[in-house]
Amino acid sequence: MRKIGKRIFDLMIAVMALIILSPLFLTVGIILKFTGESEILYLQKRLGYQNKEFNIIKFATMMKNSSKIGTKGITIKNDPRVLPIGKFLRKSKINELPQIFNVFLGNMSIVGPRPQMKSIFEQFPIEKRDKIFKSKPGITGVGSIIFRDEEKWISNYNGDKHEFYREKIAPYKADVEIWYYRNHSLFLDLKIVILTAWVIIFPKSNLTFKVLKTLPKKPFHLS
């Protein structure tokens, strides 16, 4: 029954979002078609429910071969691979909105753990990997909120950025997503949707940790 309730919640939110956002989708699509590399949508393999791969759908924000150049799977602040309009789409999170179609397809939820590329997921602690995707991945989630400054953290680190991700970011990210699985409810999903809107408007707010009081504490090096 819990899964049915979550699926109904997902479809209701997705339908309303698609109706409201359709003018924005059209506008962004036209802009992307006539700027950058003329790509509108970007499909990328990600790991989802029970660690199975699926194609995540996003608005294109980076150069076509970005996954093979520079820092590859890790994106840094002011990444030169990001196209001019892509910077705005990424900062505003508009680039994530086409994942609404992933929700209709059933391989994503509105709220859930952030789907990862396989190469990034393999940097997570081995003992935690099988616990993260016991829930469907989400367009937003507690991990998406907490790690909204991930690019800045990586950019500000002066050492090996891949090692920093593997040793510092990945373990905490895994703990946060496991916390979501253990505490999941439709009421929690609703709170996360509201918190997502809140941090987009007030990006420096610490409200998430005040509302979700049992969240694993953020390590000092990620502050």
pLDDT digits (tens, 9 = 90+) for 172-213: 999 999 999 999 999 999 999 999 999 988 988 889 999 999
Residue where the block lists tokens 């029970």: 50
The average pLDDT across 93-108 equals 93
The average pLDDT across 17-44 equals 90
Q: What's the total number of domains in the chain?
A: 1
**Is the pLDDT reported for residue 71 higher than 70?**
no
Q: What is the pLDDT of residue 151?
A: 79
**Is the pLDDT reported for residue 36 higher than 80?**
no
Distance between start and end Cα atoms, the chain: 39
Question: pLDDT: is 159 or 95 the higher one?
Answer: 95
- Rounded to whole angstroms, how far apart are CA atoms 108 and 200? 21
**Is the pLDDT reported for residue 77 higher than 70?**
no
What's the domain range around 55?
2-222
- Rounded to whole angstroms, how far apart are CA atoms 223 and 211? 18
